[in-house]
Chain A
Amino acid sequence: MSVVSGSRLKGAIRAAAAVVMGRAITLFARIVTSPRAIWAGIEPVPRQRVYFANHTSNADFVLLWTVLPVMLRQRTRPVAALDYWLKTPLRAFIGRDVFNAVLIDRRPEEREQDPVALMTAALAEGSSLIIFPEGLRNTSEEELLPFRSGLYHLARQNPGVDLVPVWISNLNRVMPKGEIVPLPLICTLTFGPALHLAPDEEKDTFLARARAVLLAQREGAPS
């Protein structure tokens, strides 16, 4: 009896701590980068969506999550690497409890569940997702790496879901890899028109199209 109520209490404390931590993280992100969301060709309405963005920093999904209206934020889950987010207890708390991340294993030889199946299951529960189709952080000079096939499989298995391109600018300048002090520059997130897999569209054609649409959301790119 007391064990049950004790674990329930623990759960409640953990949940409350997660809410406070979530607020603290978004506030911190707002102070550091003063992020600005530009909804270009799509509105922030509560439809089920997969937001796919360029990936230059570990803070990418935090920023995307921050600029979403609260109502949308609550049902949007980032897809993140299990090996990174379960490394320390604090990361695990932030990844699992605060962001409710869908944790996927990037190591094919060790994983038990297929990442696309995990994402599809999350979509089936009604969640929206944040994914980075480049598959890993882009530290190269290229603006955007070629997409992995995950986005295609996700689109094929969930044809009704809007795929929304989000270009995140400047975050790699705020916190370049290897630096410890962030620069408080302004980051802009441009949300573009939703994308769907066309019938009979080949994998490579679709991935190239999705990549081009994301690149088109860069600041200054003709709309």
Chain B
Amino acid sequence: MTTTPHLIWLLLGVALILILATVIGELLRAKVAPDGSNPVIENLNARIAAWWGMVVLLSLAFIAGRPGVVILFAILSFSALREFLTLTAKARADHWALAGAFFVVLPVQYWLIGTDWYGLYSIFIPVYAFLLMPVVSALRGETKGYLTRVAETQWALMICVYCVSHVPALLSLNIPGYEGRGVILIAWLIFTVQLSDVMQYVWGKLIGRRKVAPQLSPSKTWEGLIGGTLTASAAGAALWWMTPFSLMQAAGMALAVTLMGFFGGLVMSAIKRDKGVKDWGHLIAGHGGFLDRLDSVVFAAPIFFHLTRWFWT
């Protein structure tokens, strides 16, 4: 049972970072705008406060073990899917297909994850859901915008359910010598990817000048991207001793997931631009919606899952 001490070390480390961030946030506010009139500092403090909430929730799920993690990510998937499908093209004829996405496809996918049925959860959405849901829509007879409606709904399921579900799926990997420690793998993935997001924001705010994709996102800069991914990769590599990877392997994995995380943010920004919104939702103060926080994990999780599965099991 080496899960618990490693997890406690990681959570203590995160708590330390958050305490530091909280102190810096409060100092900045006291120094620059004690009346709360600086929007950047207020947003920073709101983000830090929300981080505390998210870390506490994740910790509780980790302590509850496998059922806790599966249920937490099922709820996150539900919230993300609701945000995504609120913006996609749909007609009245899609009502049953969409209800099926929420109330059949999502629960079944997480039930398959919970019961460790790799052979089915890895194809359930791309094969069964993608072939059968358009049939449900087609039977209602509305052909206007049909392909757009079907395609956007499928993308919503891919991003919000299929990809997100690969985080709890990490618990089902059988890595020799690493039995029963899947929770650490999840904690490491989320820590590395989210730290990369935070450090991209910090480096971008400090020295960011050259924009990566000005049409997509004014806040993504090359300085932020390089500084953020390198800092987070170094941190991920420094935690190699709690993963099944060696130091160099952990560095490579960390680089892979932070880059995928960046691409996730980029792609999801493009979708937001296309749909004319700034944030996916409103429920996480300072961050926007669930998808605004999950976008990087969404893209990193399946790649991380399959790299680990291919090389380490």
Min CB distance A180 to B, Å, is 9
Stretch in contact with the other chain, from A6-14, A53-61, A93-101, A181-189? A181-189
Contacts of B99 in A (CB 8 A): 181, 183
Interface of A is mostly: loop
Q: How far is the CA of A176 from the CA of B140 in the complex (A)?
A: 14
Asked if B295 lies at the interface with its beta carbon under 8 angstroms from chain A, I say no
Contact of A184 among B90, B96, B102 (CB under 8 A): B102
Q: Is A220 an interface residue (CB 8 A)?
A: yes
In which size bucket is the chain A interface? Answer: 10 to 19
Give the number of residue pairs across the A-B interface with Cβ within 8 Å. Answer: 29
Residue of B nearest to A38 (CB): B282
Q: Assess A185 versus B95: contact at CB under 8 Å? Given A34-B283, A173-B90, A220-B276.
A: no
B interface secondary structure, majority: helix
Question: In the complex, what residue of chain A is closest to B78 when comparing beta carbons?
Answer: A184
Check: A170 CB closer than 8 A to any chain B CB: yes
Q: Does B85 contact A (CB under 8 A)?
A: yes
Contact indicator B102/A36 (Cβ below 8 Å): no
- A185's partner among B82, B92, B103, B283 (CB-CB below 8 A) is B82
Q: Does A125 contact B (CB under 8 A)?
A: no
Residues of A contacting B96 in the complex (Cβ-Cβ under 8 angstroms): 181
Query: Per-residue 0/1 for B77-99: is the Cβ within 8 Å of any A Cβ (1 yes, 0 no)?
Result: 01000110110001010011011
Q: For residue A190, give the distance in angstroms from its CB to the closest CB of chain B.
A: 13
Interchain nearest-CB distance for B203 vs A (Å): 32
A142 lies within 8 A of chain B by Cβ: no
A179 at the interface (CB under 8 A from B): yes
Query: In the complex, which residues of chain A have a beta carbon less than 8 angstroms from the beta carbon of B82?
Result: 34, 184-186
Q: B281 near A: Cβ within 8 Å? A: yes
A3-46 Cβ-contact flags toward B at 8 Å (1 or 0): 00000000000000000000000000000001010000000000
Instruction: Give the contacting residue for B86; candidates A176, A179, A181, A186; CB below 8 A.
Output: A186
Give the interface centre of B85, B90, B95, B96 by most chain A CB atoms within 10 Å.
Answer: B95
- Asked if A181 meets B103 with Cβ closer than 8 Å, knowing A34-B82, A176-B92, A186-B82, the reply is yes
Interface string of B266-282 (1 = CB under 8 A from A): 00000000001000011
Given the complex, which residues of A lie within 8 Å of B282, measured CB to CB?
36
The smallest C-beta distance from B157 to any residue of chain A, in angstroms, reads 14
| A176 contacts across to B, CB distance below 8 A | 92, 95
In the bound complex, CA of A185 to CA of B90 (Å): 12
Within 8 A of B (CB), among A149-171: 170
- B86 near A185 with CB under 8 A, answer yes
Contacting pair A186 B83 (CB below 8 A): yes
B85/A183 in contact, CB under 8 A:
yes
Whole-angstrom distance between the alpha carbons of A7 and B86 in the complex?
48
Whole-angstrom distance between the alpha carbons of A183 and B84 in the complex? 13
Beyond the given pairs A181-B95, A183-B95, A184-B78, 11 more chain A to chain B contacts, judged by CB atoms under 8 angstroms and listed by A's residue number, are A34-B82, A34-B283, A36-B282, A170-B86, A173-B90, A176-B92, A176-B95, A181-B103, A184-B82, A185-B86, A186-B83
28 interchain pairs (CB within 8 A)?
A34-B82, A34-B281, A34-B283, A36-B282, A170-B86, A173-B90, A176-B92, A176-B95, A179-B95, A181-B95, A181-B96, A181-B103, A183-B85, A183-B95, A183-B98, A183-B99, A183-B102, A184-B78, A184-B82, A184-B102, A185-B82, A185-B85, A185-B86, A186-B82, A186-B83, A186-B86, A186-B281, A220-B276
Which 9 A-B pairs give the minimum distances between C-beta atoms?
A: A186-B86, A181-B99, A185-B86, A36-B282, A176-B92, A184-B82, A183-B98, A179-B95, A184-B102
